Amino acid sequence: MNTQKTGLAPKHQRLILVVVALLVLVAAGMLAAWGLRSQADYFYLPEDIAKNPPEPGRAIRLGGMVQQGSIRTLSDGVTIAFRVTGREGNAIPVTYRGIVPDLFVEGSGVIANGRLGTNGTFEAETLLAKHDENYTPRELEGLSDQAMHEVLEESAAGTP
Amino acid sequence: MIAEIGLAALWLAAGLCALQFIAGVLGVREAGADGAVHPVSALARPAAVVQGLLLLVAFACLLRVFAVTDLSVALVADNSHVDKPFIYRLSAAWGNHEGSMLLWVTILGLSGGLVALFERRMDDRFMKAVLAAQAFIALGFLAFLLFSSNPFARLNPPADFGAGLNPLLQDIGLAFHPPTLYLGYVGLSVAFSFVVAGLVTRQAGPELARVMRPWVLAAWVALTLGIAAGSYWAYYELGWGGWWFWDPVENASLMPWLAATALLHSVSVLAARDALRTWTIMLGVVAFSMSMVGTFLVRSGILTSVHAFAVDPERGAFILGLLAIYVGGGFGLFALRAGALAEGKRFALVSREGALVFNNVMLSGILAVVLLGTLYPLAAEALGTRVSIGPPYYNPVSAIFAVPMLLVLLVGPLLRWKRDSLSRIAVPLAIVGALLAASVTVLVLFTDAGVLPVLGLAIAVALALASWLPLRGRKLKRVPLALWGSMLAHFGVAVSLAGMASETAFSIERLVAVEAGESVAVGPYQVTLQEVDPVAGPNWTALEGRLAITGGGVDTVLRPQARYFTDPPQSTSESALLTRWDGQFYAILGDAAGEGRWQLRLWWKPFVTLIWYGALLIALGGLLSIFGHLRASARSRRIREEVARRRAEKALL
């Protein structure tokens, strides 16, 4: 590509530049497509996990409501265990080692990033709680207040 | 009354903006035909200046209504509160959708005024085209403000107290973060206007690059500072201990930065060597498109985050419309006119230009990766699946392009323009290569850092030296200011990279539940929880932990807090930081853990502060370059004038 020797016209050099840039962009696009497919964290509601469980160890996002009366702190003081319910009353047990976010309370919405363990317990690495009325995690928008209340009443009725 | 003055100023500015657009378009058309300039076109420059002043008045009015907490203004009632500290009452003015859009438009107007007042290097027709393009952009955003985001709307009856501001936003970082980012977005819009004028008047030579360069550099400096400020804010305010989350909102500011970085390098090729004409023009369009995409992502409410102050589909559609007009128009004009641009100069593969082209192409690759990762969840959601994209995607895939780019950065600045050979720079090449290899060997043998941190640290070490090698064989006193700027910025990249890699590889985290009096070891320090007390602030109450930190030459007390705000009700974790020369100690107080214990999350993060110091060096380098180029351009103009004067004198004799 030594233009001095081959006497490449500027027009050809521009063409080569365009071709190289396009090749790199196509490569970027293909790498991105591959990365997106293999690294995307799919969002699950508890009933999705019950119906069609993801393979254990794959990173996913679990969203739903924290079941009433389900939060307990384990004896080490830093691991908490709770259950997450969705629209249909399936409850997924979750453990989380860390400091829970502000406003993480029973009966409130939560999104957990993590993996499903082989024993069916979801091991959360991060928790996102519903901050206030104006800031609901996007994935929980599908759960209307009405649906949330129904779920909560059902799950509350189910617990003695 | 103040609010009405502000609204009137906005309408007047919109009117002047329309006038500026018409005057600019007439100036371009008439002057092209027979050399006679339409009289109206002379109004373009004054219209731009007065418009900038009017927008400043409007913004001052907004500050005023927030300063006195005028609760009859809906925006104040929704976002401020009578009990709020004064500085946060002011920053609340742009801590919301309408106010931040007004800030955007004000900065845009002031930049337009500056261009109209001071830019005299290009011919009149070119400047008319620039001002017309500026007016076209401003008109869209003024329409957005006036028709769907009026910041001065009245509330009847007035509110009693005001709803308050999200306490996460009640922070000194907020006073600084949005204005700098907007400065960056707007700077790229000015560069875009120059590019449009270049396409319209078919001038895409080094002169175009020279007038664009200060704006591109200024935008880039502002984006660098804005991103760094946002990152530090997230680091200490969110209490998660991380400094970059690949959140779509962060990406919205990173993408214009990547495009601006590519643009400023290709602009310097165009200015110095008259090569890469079409490429530079295209990057100008891309960079502005990215700032429009950023504005759209953050302002439309399509993302739910602390930035999406209000979710309103009408506004989203409006901004999407503006995005389509400007981006579509920009690329359309480019497609029509790019073929007609004269060819630039050629260069060899091994040359400064070659290295810069490589840098540009790799930056475009990273940009594509980030853009696709940011848009993919939105596209997937439209198709009914909900996914999120995080570090497992962004880190490795962007590194595929970032690592080769950084390796070329080690040698690129040493190459000569036009054509060069690697054998000429064999000695520095060998030194840098040896340093790189030695660093990798040491890191692999003596640490258990991962692949990317090892590469990052080794490149940082080599780059810290290589960035100063262009000084070789130069007289220190005669090194141009702009070269000091570029060396400093590249050194800043090394510093920042070292901080990122070190934090990733060597952070130590402890998560414990302890009673008062109990101790834990974290890295070089011994941490003892002394007690947890309730404390109160102006509009919050908190539980405050007292942590005694000893060891490593330190004997001090940190006080992390869990704060509860009343208006609006919300709670936040206030991290406590101990900054040392070799890193930061980071403490978070959690909840009561039963049996009189408290949760503590503690980190020792070696050299984490280098991330932000590096960013400051990069920005400082950019500033030096701006001054260097402006000074050089002023000097060459003086010389030209002097030569012209002497010639005239000679002709008279």
What is the secondary structure of B343-399 as a DSSP string?
Answer: P-----SSSHHHHHHHHHHHHHHHHHHHHHHHHHHHHHHHTT--EE--HHHHHHHHH
DSSP B500-516: HHHHHHH-EEEEEEEET
Question: Average pLDDT of B606-610?
Answer: 94
Distance CA B107, CA B136 (A): 15
Distance from CA of A154 to the nearest CA of B (A): 26
Residue B24 reports pLDDT greater than 80: yes
Q: In Å, what is the CA distance from B456 to each residue of B367, B398, B462, B562?
A: 19, 13, 10, 35
Query: What are the chain A neighbours of B513 within 8 Å (beta carbons)?
Result: 76-78
Calpha distance B615→B627 (Å, rounded): 19
Q: Are B287 and B191 in contact (CB under 8 A)?
A: yes
Residue A137 pLDDT > 60: no
> What's the DSSP call for residue B472?
T
A12 marked as binding residue: no
Question: How much is the pLDDT for B2?
Answer: 87
Locate the chain B residue with the closest alpha carbon to A21: B361
Helices (H) and strands (E) in chain B, counts: 17, 11
A135 annotated as ligand-binding: yes
C-beta atoms of B570 and A99 within 8 A? no
Query: Is the model's pLDDT at B307 over the cut of 60?
Result: no
Question: Which has more confidence, A95 or A159?
Answer: A95
Determine the length of chain B. 653
* Average pLDDT in chain B: 87
Average pLDDT of the residues in B549-567: 85
pTM above 0.80, yes or no: yes
Helices (H) and strands (E) in chain A, counts: 4, 7
Report domain extents, chain A: 42-130
- What value does the mean pLDDT take over residues B492-502? 96
Q: Give pLDDT tens digits for B153-172.
A: 888 777 777 766 666 666 67
Q: What percent of chain A has pLDDT over 90?
A: 6
DSSP-derived secondary structure letter, A100: P
Q: Which residue, B255, B127, B141, is CA-closest to B193?
A: B127
Residue B525's Cβ-side half-sphere holds a number of Cα atoms within 13 Å equal to: 31
Chain A residues closer than 8 Å to B593 by CB = 73, 77-78
Sign of CA dihedral B465, B622, B259, B59: positive
Of B282, B256, B388, B261, which is closest to residue B335 (Cα–Cα)?
A: B282
Kindly determine whether residue B387 and residue A14, on different chains, have CB atoms separated by under 8 Å.
no
| A42-130 CATH choice from 3.10.50.40, 2.40.50.140, 1.10.460.10, 2.60.40.740 | 2.40.50.140
How many CB atoms are closer than 10 A to CB B302? 18
Token pair belonging to B251: 């990406």
Contacts of B238 in chain A (CB under 8 A): none
Phi and psi at B587, nearest 5°, equal -125, 140
Residues 6 or more apart whose Cβ sits within 8 Å of residue A39: A59, B389, B390, B392, B393
State phi, psi for A31 to the nearest 5 degrees. Answer: -60, -45
Per the CB < 8 A criterion, the answer to whether B546 and B528 are in contact is no
Q: Which are the contacts of B139, defined by CB distance < 8 A and separation ≥ 6? A: B14, B17, B18, B21
DSSP codes joined into one string, B387-435: EE--HHHHHHHHHHHHHHHHHHHHHGGGSPSS---GGGGHHHHHHHHHH
Other CB atoms within a 10 A radius of the CB of residue B473 amount to: 6
For residue B310, what is the nearest residue in chain A, using CA coordinates?
A: A134
Supply B545's token pair.
């932990």
* pLDDT for position A157: 33
Interface test with B, best of A31, A128, A141 (most B CBs within 10 A): A31
Name the pairing type of β-strands B576-580 and B570-574. Answer: unpaired
Query: How confident is the model at residue B628, as a pLDDT?
Result: 93
Q: Please state, in angstroms and rounded to a whole number, the distance separating the CA atoms of residues B507 and B152.
A: 48
Cα–Cα distance, B484 to B470 (Å, whole number)? 10
Please give the residue of chain B at the shortest CA–CA distance from A18: B279
Residue B146, both tokens: 């006036």
Statement: residue B361 has pLDDT above 60: yes
Average pLDDT on B260-267 reads: 94
pLDDT at A5: 43
Given CB atoms, is A79 within the 8 Å cutoff of chain B?
no
Mean pLDDT, residues A114-137: 74
